[in-house]
Homo-oligomer: A and B are copies of this chain.
């Protein structure tokens, strides 16, 4: 087994980060049929390594922007779990105060500055945050997650050009899971070469096995260093797979738009399990440790769900609130 060059502590952190995402998603899936989370959920089961690998390279002061499939990004960046689950339960204590739902998560205290459900929509915004960071001499890096379908939106190319032109500290993270709802990449893009389309804008661009958290982490660590030092943006195309339906809990394999064989081949590459086994082999993990991590996460998650189920719904009378900011009270100021 080759050396990873990643410290053991970091590896455990990566494992926990992925596992937490997986467990939270599974819990959402389990409870979704109770019809209390009245918001469309786009589960990222199978794609945990990109969230964990990328965000482990970022500091709290770095920014993350995400999309409709943003649960993993939110959690990996350190977003508050209770506020997230409360948001799914449409509660006032939700991270977006019940105004946003699953597709619009935010935790501005850890630099997670929002999620757009318009495919590609948050890409230029992330570029703008990087521009702001340069203005403010903050050295904050801005990372943005988006799917393969975002590579069909012109705004990606406009953003790539601008970020490269201005050498802005942006990490573009494309999670290529080969599908947009029911449509395979092949029927939407002339060639499966998203990262090369970034490279032509004169930035380092990598294709990464997005199921291998160490690959994601190592590539991104270098990218962040590069961006933070003022050299400009970096692009990562992470090849992953969505295990569940496009939206909502459960499998959709019966619909026939993708084959069981295809799904199976990716299930074998489960980012959580393959990494767990690796850690077991290298003795960084053992049965006992696994058990204690499981227990810790399970109880944190249970607590969050209990909290979310109990806390208050928004007040109808406040339906107009938050449309405008009245005065200068902004934390990042």
Contacts and interface: CB of A to CB of B under 8 A. Distances in A.
Interface of A: 152-158, 161, 164-165, 188-191, 193, 196-197, 200-203
Contacts of A153: 154, 158
| Most chain B C-beta atoms within 10 Å of own C-beta, residue among A152, A154, A196, A202 | A154
Contact of A164 (B156, B190, B203): B190
Q: Which has the most chain B C-beta neighbours within 10 Å: A189, A200, A202? A: A200
A273 B156 CA distance: 42
With most chain B CB atoms within 10 A of its CB, the pick from A154, A190, A203 is A190
Contacts of A191: 164, 200-202
A200 B156 CA distance: 15
Nearest to A164: B190
11 contacts: A153-B158, A154-B154, A154-B155, A157-B197, A161-B189, A164-B190, A190-B202, A190-B203, A193-B200, A196-B200, A197-B197
Contacts of A189: 161, 165
A172 to B, nearest CB: 14
Contacts of A202: 190-191
A157 B150 CA distance: 12
A201 B200 CA distance: 11
Contact of A165 (B154, B190, B201): B190
A120 to B, nearest CB: 9
Nearest to A154: B154
A200 B197 CA distance: 6
B158 A154 contact: yes
A326 to B, nearest CB: 35
A188 B164 CA distance: 10
A156 B193 CA distance: 18
A158 B157 CA distance: 9
A86 B83 CA distance: 66
A208 to B, nearest CB: 19
A62 to B, nearest CB: 23
A312 to B, nearest CB: 43
Shortest 5 CB-CB contacts between residues of A and residues of B: A154-B154, A164-B190, A157-B157, A165-B190, A154-B158
